[in-house]
């Protein structure tokens, strides 16, 4: 089945540690995205990538980093510089033509204490 | 003003009721519009795309009013399983692949 996978589903880290969230898709989509969702709020764009080895900052990129070495993979690193890292992180992908609907993975719930 | 605004609700309706949500957007040049559904602690899932004058899918009807810059979602014959948060999503024309998400409207359907 085609889809987007994210791992792990739940992640707990101590403050000051970097952590990397995985996102893989087999939909053959060109574009991939990372969002953050806080309770009662909408999705905020962290980073996005249209093509391998290229990515752009979204609205809240500070304290995060990404890489896009393969079309299928777009990992997100939450660094110790991110002031409020506890959140629900969602990865999505889309085509770059047509209607641009985005399809989401199941998300990773990160808790930093 | 937010780029996409929704009434957060919750809308609490009995099973079988008809309920409508509205969403306003600020960029008059926006071209594509979507409704997503998000269950508690889950990822958003595409419910409907909305093009030109709107479209219908079973019990769900989406309408677009470009003059007033709003889109609506109508749910007829509500089911308990319709309980979720409904996200209004807009594709601004100046960025062909980025989507702007509203904060969502929560729907509770009671027996």
Q: For residue range B49-92, list pLDDT tens digits in order.
A: 997 778 899 999 999 999 999 999 999 999 999 999 999 999 88
B1 pLDDT above the threshold of 80: no
Structure tokens at A90: 């969602």
Residues of chain A in contact with residue B91, where contact means CB-CB under 8 angstroms, are 100
CB-based contact, A25 to chain B, within 8 Å: no
Structure confidence at residue A78 (pLDDT): 96
Length of chain B: 111
DSSP conformational letter for A69: S
Omega cis (within 30) before B10: yes
pLDDT tens string for chain A (113 positions)? 669 999 999 999 999 999 999 999 999 999 999 999 998 788 999 999 999 999 999 999 999 999 999 999 999 999 988 889 999 999 999 988 777 889 999 999 999 99
Q: Nearest CA of chain B to the CA of A97: how many Å?
A: 8
Chain B positions in Cβ-Cβ contact with residue A101 (cut-off 8 Å): 34, 46, 49
User: Quick check: A29 contacting B, CB < 8 Å?
Assistant: no
For the ranges A103-107, B15-19, B93-97, the lowest mean pLDDT is seen at: B93-97
Q: Give the per-residue pLDDT at A97.
A: 75
Assign B32 a pLDDT band (cuts: 50, 70, 90).
Answer: confident
Q: Which 8-state DSSP code applies to residue B80?
A: G
Residue B95: per-residue pLDDT: 62
Contact list, B44 vs chain A (CB under 8 Å): 43, 90, 104
Average pLDDT for B91-110: 86
A31: nearest CA partner in chain B: B97
pLDDT at B96 over 80: no
User: Does the beta-carbon distance from B46 to A42 stay under 8 Å?
Assistant: no
Only one residue has tokens 């393969």, namely A70
Q: B14 with B107: CB under 8 angstroms?
A: no
- Mutate which of B5, B25, B96, B97 to test chain A, going by most A C-beta atoms within 10 A? B97
Distance (Å) from the alpha carbon of B76 to chain A's nearest alpha carbon: 24
List C-alpha distances in Å: B66 to A28, A62, A79, B10: 33, 35, 42, 26
What is the distance between the alpha carbons of residues B9 and B3, in angstroms, rounded to a whole number? 19
């Amino acid at each position: 089945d085609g889809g987007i996978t994210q791992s792990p589903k739940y992640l707990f880290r101590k403050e000051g540690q970097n952590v990397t969230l995985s996102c893989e898709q087999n939909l053959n989509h060109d574009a991939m995205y990372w969002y953050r969702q806080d309770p009662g709020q909408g999705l905020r764009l962290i980073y996005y990538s249209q093509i391998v080895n290229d990515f752009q900052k979204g609205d809240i990129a500070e304290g995060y980093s990404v890489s896009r070495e393969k079309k299928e993979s777009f990992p997100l690193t939450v660094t110790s510089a991110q002031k409020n890292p506890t959140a629900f992180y969602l990865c999505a992908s889309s085509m770059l033509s047509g209607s641009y609907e985005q399809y989401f993975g199941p998300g990773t719930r990160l808790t930093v204490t | 003003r937010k780029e996409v605004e929704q009434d957060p609700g919750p809308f609490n309706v009995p099973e079988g009721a008809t309920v409508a949500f509205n969403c306003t957007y600020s960029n008059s040049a926006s071209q594509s519009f979507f409704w997503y559904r998000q269950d508690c602690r889950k990822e958003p899932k595409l419910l409907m795309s909305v093009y030109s004058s709107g479209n219908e899918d079973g019990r769900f009807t989406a309408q677009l009013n470009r003059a007033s810059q709003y889109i609506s979602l109508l749910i007829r014959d509500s089911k308990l399983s319709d309980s979720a948060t409904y996200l209004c999503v807009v594709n601004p024309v100046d960025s062909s692949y980025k989507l702007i998400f509203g904060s969502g409207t929560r729907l509770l359907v009671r027996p």
